[in-house]
Amino acid sequence: MQIQPKFLPSGAAATPHPKPSFKPEDGLDTVIGQLQDQWQHRMQGQQRCTVGIFVEKGYKPAEAHDDVLDLADAVMDAGGMPRLLYQGQNGQSAEQQVSQVDAVLVPGGRDWDPAKYGEKLGPHMDPAEPDTAWDNFEIAGMRYAVGRDMPLFGQCRGEQGLNVALGGTLYQDLPSDRPGPVNHRPAHVHESFANRIDPAHGLEIKPDTRLYNLVGGQVEVNSIHHQAIKDVAPALEVIARAPDGLAEAVQVKDHPWQWAVQFHPESLRYSDGRFQTIYQQLVDDGERFRNHQPLK
Protein backbone atom coordinates (compact mmCIF):
# COMPACT_ATOMS: atom_id res chain seq x y z
CA MET A 1 0.00 0.00 0.00
CA GLN A 2 1.35 3.43 -0.92
CA ILE A 3 1.92 6.02 1.78
CA GLN A 4 -0.29 9.05 1.21
CA PRO A 5 1.95 12.13 1.02
CA LYS A 6 1.23 14.80 3.59
CA PHE A 7 0.57 17.98 1.66
CA LEU A 8 0.58 21.21 3.63
CA PRO A 9 -2.79 22.56 4.71
CA SER A 10 -3.69 25.69 2.80
CA GLY A 11 -1.80 28.63 4.25
CA ALA A 12 0.49 26.57 6.50
CA ALA A 13 4.05 27.79 7.07
CA ALA A 14 6.82 25.68 5.53
CA THR A 15 9.81 23.74 6.88
CA PRO A 16 13.22 23.77 5.15
CA HIS A 17 14.42 21.17 2.69
CA PRO A 18 17.10 18.81 4.09
CA LYS A 19 20.59 20.07 3.37
CA PRO A 20 21.74 18.53 0.07
CA SER A 21 24.97 16.60 -0.29
CA PHE A 22 26.68 15.87 -3.59
CA LYS A 23 30.17 14.70 -4.57
CA PRO A 24 32.52 17.25 -6.18
CA GLU A 25 32.60 15.21 -9.37
CA ASP A 26 28.80 15.01 -9.71
CA GLY A 27 27.62 16.69 -12.91
CA LEU A 28 24.27 18.28 -13.65
CA ASP A 29 22.62 15.08 -14.89
CA THR A 30 23.69 13.21 -11.74
CA VAL A 31 22.58 16.00 -9.41
CA ILE A 32 19.19 16.37 -11.03
CA GLY A 33 18.71 12.62 -11.30
CA GLN A 34 19.29 12.22 -7.56
CA LEU A 35 16.95 15.08 -6.72
CA GLN A 36 14.20 13.72 -8.97
CA ASP A 37 14.56 10.28 -7.35
CA GLN A 38 14.17 11.84 -3.89
CA TRP A 39 11.09 13.76 -5.00
CA GLN A 40 9.53 10.68 -6.59
CA HIS A 41 9.98 8.83 -3.31
CA ARG A 42 8.47 11.72 -1.34
CA MET A 43 5.41 12.01 -3.55
CA GLN A 44 4.69 8.27 -3.73
CA GLY A 45 2.97 8.65 -7.08
CA GLN A 46 0.24 10.86 -5.62
CA GLN A 47 1.13 14.11 -7.44
CA ARG A 48 -1.71 16.11 -8.93
CA CYS A 49 0.36 17.49 -11.80
CA THR A 50 3.95 18.08 -12.92
CA VAL A 51 5.53 21.53 -12.61
CA GLY A 52 8.61 22.34 -14.68
CA ILE A 53 11.26 24.51 -12.98
CA PHE A 54 14.10 26.04 -15.02
CA VAL A 55 17.65 25.49 -13.71
CA GLU A 56 20.94 26.71 -15.12
CA LYS A 57 23.77 24.48 -16.27
CA GLY A 58 26.17 23.79 -13.42
CA TYR A 59 23.36 23.78 -10.87
CA LYS A 60 24.44 22.01 -7.67
CA PRO A 61 22.63 23.03 -4.46
CA ALA A 62 24.81 23.22 -1.36
CA GLU A 63 22.45 24.78 1.20
CA ALA A 64 19.02 23.84 2.49
CA HIS A 65 17.69 27.28 1.56
CA ASP A 66 18.48 27.03 -2.13
CA ASP A 67 16.16 28.87 -4.55
CA VAL A 68 15.29 25.79 -6.58
CA LEU A 69 14.98 23.45 -3.60
CA ASP A 70 12.68 25.95 -1.90
CA LEU A 71 10.55 26.09 -5.04
CA ALA A 72 10.49 22.30 -5.36
CA ASP A 73 9.35 22.05 -1.74
CA ALA A 74 6.65 24.64 -2.35
CA VAL A 75 5.38 22.64 -5.32
CA MET A 76 5.44 19.33 -3.43
CA ASP A 77 3.78 20.87 -0.38
CA ALA A 78 0.95 21.84 -2.76
CA GLY A 79 0.71 18.33 -4.22
CA GLY A 80 2.71 18.83 -7.42
CA MET A 81 5.75 17.00 -8.75
CA PRO A 82 8.71 19.24 -9.66
CA ARG A 83 10.63 18.47 -12.85
CA LEU A 84 13.81 20.40 -13.55
CA LEU A 85 14.22 21.82 -17.07
CA TYR A 86 17.71 22.63 -18.33
CA GLN A 87 19.85 23.06 -21.42
CA GLY A 88 21.06 19.79 -22.92
CA GLN A 89 18.60 17.52 -21.15
CA ASN A 90 18.40 14.46 -23.43
CA GLY A 91 19.13 16.76 -26.36
CA GLN A 92 15.69 18.35 -26.03
CA SER A 93 14.82 21.99 -26.69
CA ALA A 94 13.11 24.21 -24.14
CA GLU A 95 9.85 23.79 -26.06
CA GLN A 96 10.10 20.00 -26.01
CA GLN A 97 10.76 19.95 -22.27
CA VAL A 98 7.94 22.37 -21.46
CA SER A 99 5.55 20.26 -23.54
CA GLN A 100 6.07 17.42 -21.05
CA VAL A 101 4.85 19.32 -17.95
CA ASP A 102 1.54 20.80 -16.85
CA ALA A 103 2.75 24.16 -15.49
CA VAL A 104 5.93 26.23 -15.57
CA LEU A 105 7.76 27.92 -12.70
CA VAL A 106 10.53 30.42 -13.51
CA PRO A 107 12.94 31.12 -10.61
CA GLY A 108 15.19 34.05 -9.81
CA GLY A 109 18.77 34.14 -10.98
CA ARG A 110 21.33 36.09 -12.97
CA ASP A 111 20.88 39.37 -14.87
CA TRP A 112 19.31 39.35 -18.33
CA ASP A 113 21.37 40.18 -21.40
CA PRO A 114 20.22 43.71 -22.35
CA ALA A 115 20.59 42.79 -26.02
CA LYS A 116 17.37 40.81 -25.54
CA TYR A 117 15.49 44.10 -25.24
CA GLY A 118 17.55 46.18 -27.65
CA GLU A 119 20.10 47.77 -25.33
CA LYS A 120 23.84 47.58 -24.72
CA LEU A 121 25.46 46.52 -21.46
CA GLY A 122 25.37 49.47 -19.08
CA PRO A 123 28.23 50.72 -16.89
CA HIS A 124 26.73 49.25 -13.71
CA MET A 125 26.29 45.75 -15.15
CA ASP A 126 28.72 42.89 -14.52
CA PRO A 127 29.85 41.70 -18.00
CA ALA A 128 30.22 38.17 -16.61
CA GLU A 129 26.64 38.06 -15.34
CA PRO A 130 24.42 37.62 -18.45
CA ASP A 131 24.35 34.20 -20.14
CA THR A 132 22.88 34.63 -23.62
CA ALA A 133 22.36 30.91 -24.25
CA TRP A 134 20.50 30.53 -20.96
CA ASP A 135 18.39 33.60 -21.69
CA ASN A 136 17.45 32.12 -25.07
CA PHE A 137 16.46 28.82 -23.45
CA GLU A 138 14.21 30.40 -20.82
CA ILE A 139 12.64 32.86 -23.26
CA ALA A 140 11.85 30.03 -25.67
CA GLY A 141 10.26 28.03 -22.85
CA MET A 142 8.19 30.95 -21.61
CA ARG A 143 6.98 31.91 -25.07
CA TYR A 144 5.99 28.31 -25.72
CA ALA A 145 4.07 28.11 -22.43
CA VAL A 146 2.27 31.39 -23.08
CA GLY A 147 1.46 30.32 -26.62
CA ARG A 148 -0.05 27.04 -25.40
CA ASP A 149 -2.01 28.89 -22.69
CA MET A 150 -0.23 26.87 -20.00
CA PRO A 151 -0.15 27.90 -16.33
CA LEU A 152 3.03 29.88 -15.69
CA PHE A 153 4.41 31.65 -12.64
CA GLY A 154 7.66 33.60 -12.52
CA GLN A 155 9.49 35.37 -9.70
CA CYS A 156 12.28 37.95 -9.60
CA ARG A 157 14.29 37.15 -12.77
CA GLY A 158 11.21 35.19 -13.84
CA GLU A 159 9.05 38.34 -13.82
CA GLN A 160 11.70 40.27 -15.70
CA GLY A 161 12.07 37.43 -18.20
CA LEU A 162 8.34 37.17 -18.89
CA ASN A 163 8.35 40.88 -19.64
CA VAL A 164 11.37 40.59 -21.97
CA ALA A 165 9.98 37.46 -23.67
CA LEU A 166 6.80 39.36 -24.54
CA GLY A 167 8.48 42.54 -25.79
CA GLY A 168 9.15 44.66 -22.69
CA THR A 169 12.34 46.28 -21.37
CA LEU A 170 14.22 46.39 -18.05
CA TYR A 171 16.05 48.81 -15.83
CA GLN A 172 19.56 47.39 -15.94
CA ASP A 173 20.45 48.77 -12.51
CA LEU A 174 17.87 50.41 -10.28
CA PRO A 175 20.13 52.55 -8.09
CA SER A 176 21.68 54.24 -11.13
CA ASP A 177 18.86 54.04 -13.73
CA ARG A 178 15.94 54.76 -11.42
CA PRO A 179 16.99 56.23 -8.06
CA GLY A 180 14.20 56.19 -5.50
CA PRO A 181 13.25 55.97 -1.82
CA VAL A 182 12.96 52.16 -1.71
CA ASN A 183 16.05 49.97 -1.35
CA HIS A 184 15.23 46.98 -3.53
CA ARG A 185 18.42 45.10 -2.62
CA PRO A 186 19.16 45.37 1.11
CA ALA A 187 22.69 44.09 1.75
CA HIS A 188 21.84 41.81 4.68
CA VAL A 189 19.13 40.06 2.65
CA HIS A 190 21.30 39.64 -0.43
CA GLU A 191 24.09 38.10 1.65
CA SER A 192 22.07 35.40 3.39
CA PHE A 193 19.22 33.09 2.39
CA ALA A 194 18.12 33.04 6.02
CA ASN A 195 17.37 36.77 5.83
CA ARG A 196 15.11 36.46 2.80
CA ILE A 197 12.09 36.22 5.09
CA ASP A 198 12.70 39.84 6.09
CA PRO A 199 10.21 42.22 4.45
CA ALA A 200 11.58 45.24 2.60
CA HIS A 201 8.44 47.13 1.59
CA GLY A 202 4.70 46.90 1.17
CA LEU A 203 2.73 46.40 -2.02
CA GLU A 204 -0.10 48.29 -3.64
CA ILE A 205 -2.08 45.37 -5.09
CA LYS A 206 -4.84 45.81 -7.61
CA PRO A 207 -8.14 44.49 -6.17
CA ASP A 208 -9.83 41.44 -7.69
CA THR A 209 -6.55 40.07 -9.04
CA ARG A 210 -5.01 36.70 -8.30
CA LEU A 211 -2.37 38.12 -5.96
CA TYR A 212 -4.96 40.17 -4.07
CA ASN A 213 -7.24 37.17 -3.67
CA LEU A 214 -4.39 34.96 -2.44
CA VAL A 215 -2.53 37.20 0.03
CA GLY A 216 -4.90 40.12 0.61
CA GLY A 217 -4.58 43.82 0.07
CA GLN A 218 -2.06 44.56 2.84
CA VAL A 219 1.21 42.63 2.58
CA GLU A 220 4.93 43.13 3.11
CA VAL A 221 7.38 41.44 0.74
CA ASN A 222 11.10 40.84 0.49
CA SER A 223 13.28 42.40 -2.19
CA ILE A 224 16.50 40.97 -3.65
CA HIS A 225 17.05 42.57 -7.04
CA HIS A 226 18.75 45.43 -8.85
CA GLN A 227 16.93 44.96 -12.16
CA ALA A 228 13.21 45.40 -12.77
CA ILE A 229 10.55 46.06 -15.40
CA LYS A 230 10.88 49.41 -17.16
CA ASP A 231 8.56 49.34 -20.20
CA VAL A 232 5.76 46.83 -19.65
CA ALA A 233 5.28 44.35 -22.50
CA PRO A 234 2.10 45.04 -24.52
CA ALA A 235 0.65 41.64 -23.59
CA LEU A 236 1.08 42.25 -19.83
CA GLU A 237 -0.69 44.34 -17.23
CA VAL A 238 0.68 45.45 -13.86
CA ILE A 239 -1.27 44.09 -10.88
CA ALA A 240 0.96 45.29 -8.02
CA ARG A 241 3.49 48.04 -7.40
CA ALA A 242 6.05 48.92 -4.75
CA PRO A 243 5.57 52.22 -2.88
CA ASP A 244 7.95 53.90 -5.36
CA GLY A 245 5.78 52.78 -8.28
CA LEU A 246 8.00 49.95 -9.48
CA ALA A 247 6.08 47.03 -11.06
CA GLU A 248 6.09 44.14 -8.56
CA ALA A 249 3.56 41.80 -10.19
CA VAL A 250 2.26 41.37 -13.74
CA GLN A 251 -0.06 39.03 -15.58
CA VAL A 252 -0.81 38.24 -19.20
CA LYS A 253 -3.92 40.26 -20.03
CA ASP A 254 -7.10 38.21 -19.51
CA HIS A 255 -4.96 35.17 -18.57
CA PRO A 256 -4.42 35.41 -14.79
CA TRP A 257 -2.92 31.89 -14.69
CA GLN A 258 0.12 33.33 -16.52
CA TRP A 259 1.70 35.78 -14.11
CA ALA A 260 4.81 36.77 -12.19
CA VAL A 261 6.06 38.72 -9.17
CA GLN A 262 9.31 40.57 -8.45
CA PHE A 263 9.70 39.28 -4.89
CA HIS A 264 10.50 35.80 -3.52
CA PRO A 265 7.40 34.09 -2.06
CA GLU A 266 9.29 30.78 -1.76
CA SER A 267 11.25 32.37 1.11
CA LEU A 268 8.37 34.32 2.63
CA ARG A 269 6.31 31.13 2.98
CA TYR A 270 8.59 30.04 5.84
CA SER A 271 7.17 32.78 8.04
CA ASP A 272 3.85 33.63 6.38
CA GLY A 273 1.75 30.77 5.05
CA ARG A 274 -0.24 33.08 2.78
CA PHE A 275 2.62 32.90 0.30
CA GLN A 276 2.36 29.12 0.02
CA THR A 277 -1.10 29.63 -1.50
CA ILE A 278 0.64 31.05 -4.60
CA TYR A 279 2.14 27.62 -5.27
CA GLN A 280 -1.08 25.86 -4.35
CA GLN A 281 -2.76 27.99 -7.01
CA LEU A 282 -0.08 27.03 -9.54
CA VAL A 283 -0.60 23.33 -8.83
CA ASP A 284 -4.38 23.80 -9.03
CA ASP A 285 -3.92 25.42 -12.43
CA GLY A 286 -1.55 22.66 -13.54
CA GLU A 287 -4.04 19.99 -12.54
CA ARG A 288 -6.77 21.70 -14.55
CA PHE A 289 -4.47 22.02 -17.57
CA ARG A 290 -3.47 18.37 -17.25
CA ASN A 291 -7.12 17.32 -17.20
CA HIS A 292 -8.08 19.63 -20.10
CA GLN A 293 -10.32 21.70 -17.82
CA PRO A 294 -10.82 25.44 -18.37
CA LEU A 295 -8.48 27.77 -16.50
CA LYS A 296 -9.82 30.80 -14.72
Give yes or no: 248 in active site.
no
Active-site residue identified among 138, 159, 248, 266: 266
Q: Which residue has the higher pLDDT, 3 or 149?
A: 149
> Residue 72: CB partners within 8 Å, gap ≥ 6?
17, 35, 39, 53, 82
101-150 pLDDT per residue, tens: 999 999 999 999 999 999 999 888 888 889 999 999 999 999 999 999 99
Domain ranges within the chain, ordered by starting residue: 28-121+129-290
pLDDT reported for residue 198: 81
**For all residues of the chain together, what is the average pLDDT?**
92
Give yes or no: 119 in active site.
no
**pLDDT band per the 50, 70, 90 thresholds, residue 162:** very high
Active-site residue identified among 49, 156, 225, 287: 156
Helix (H, G, I), strand (E, B) or coil at 213: helix
Partners of residue 221 on adjacent β-strands: 201
Run of H or E including 28: helix 28-43
Q: What percent of the chain has pLDDT over 90?
A: 77
For residues 76 and 78, what is the distance between their CA atoms, to the nearest angstrom? 5
Active-site residue identified among 65, 201, 225, 264: 264
Class of 28-121+129-290 in CATH = alpha beta
pLDDT reported for residue 110: 94
Average pLDDT over residues 2-20: 69
pLDDT reported for residue 270: 87
Give yes or no: 65 in active site.
no
259-292 pLDDT per residue, tens: 999 999 999 998 898 999 999 999 999 999 999 9
